[in-house]
Amino acid sequence: MGAVRTNVRSEDKAGPGLARRIRDAAARLFARHGFHGAGMRLIAEEAGVSIGALYHYFPSKEDVFMAVLRQEYDQRLAEAQALWQEGTSAPEVVRRVVELHFASLAAGEGGGRLVGRAWQGEVPTLRPQILALREEYAQYIARLLSKAMARGEIRRTHPLLTAYALLGLVESVTARAVAGDAVAHEMREEGPQELAEIAWRALRPDEAG
């Protein structure tokens, strides 16, 4: 799995835990206040670190945002990979990963809501980096789809095109589900099952009818 390059410094052996703490704090603040409402000093205070330590690992707020977004994407990929290695069927992998994504949205804070904000285009200056990360994610999903086709679990399809279609489906619902009204709440509750069902109907082998 390739890496999207940002200006974030490499974590040395003494600091991965500290950098993780900063990312977790930033995820909470970005979810709570949005990108523009969470300043670097506030992130440092939330993480319990000095402003100098924050800038050592993340030279700008944009770097913090992308690091948190990558952390969320990597977590989803790790979840999908673990399920796949356990021999879980492709439809079940889709259902479980989407379920975890919406559980993160329902929690009200953290990476799931950050992903929703990123997909809404909250930070236009980061659009190239976000698109690159999405491409990486889509390529990974496409590889899983290719393996599922080889297993005969899904119909023959264009893996990357289908991966983007699935991402777009989740993105559009996520963008609406991050709101605070009753419709958004309903989407967070019903989203996993409905989206998994839609995906399976589109991907199930032709002989399944």
Dihedral of alpha carbons 160, 128, 34, 57, sign: positive
Q: Please answer whether residues 174 and 105 qualify as being in contact, where contact means their C-beta atoms are separated by less than 8 angstroms.
A: yes
Angle of CA points 170, 101, 29, to nearest 5°:
110
> For 86, which DSSP code?
T
At 159 the pLDDT is 94
Instruction: Give me the pLDDT at residue 108, please.
Output: 56
Alpha carbons 101 and 66: distance in angstroms, whole number: 18
Written as one string, the DSSP assignment of 105-133 is HHHSSSHHHHHHHHHTTS-GGGHHHHHHH
**What stretch of H or E contains 140?**
helix 127-151
pLDDT of residue 112: 61
User: What is the rounded end-to-end Cα distance, in angstroms, of the chain?
Assistant: 35
Report CA 114 to chain centroid distance, whole Å. 8
Domains of the chain: 67-208 (1.10.357.10)
The predicted structure's pLDDT at residue 142? 92
Helix axes 90-107, 127-151, angle to 10 degrees: 150
Mean pLDDT by 10 residues, the chain (209 residues): 41 64 91 88 95 94 92 84 85 80 66 66 86 90 90 91 90 81 88 87 74
At 75 the pLDDT is: 84
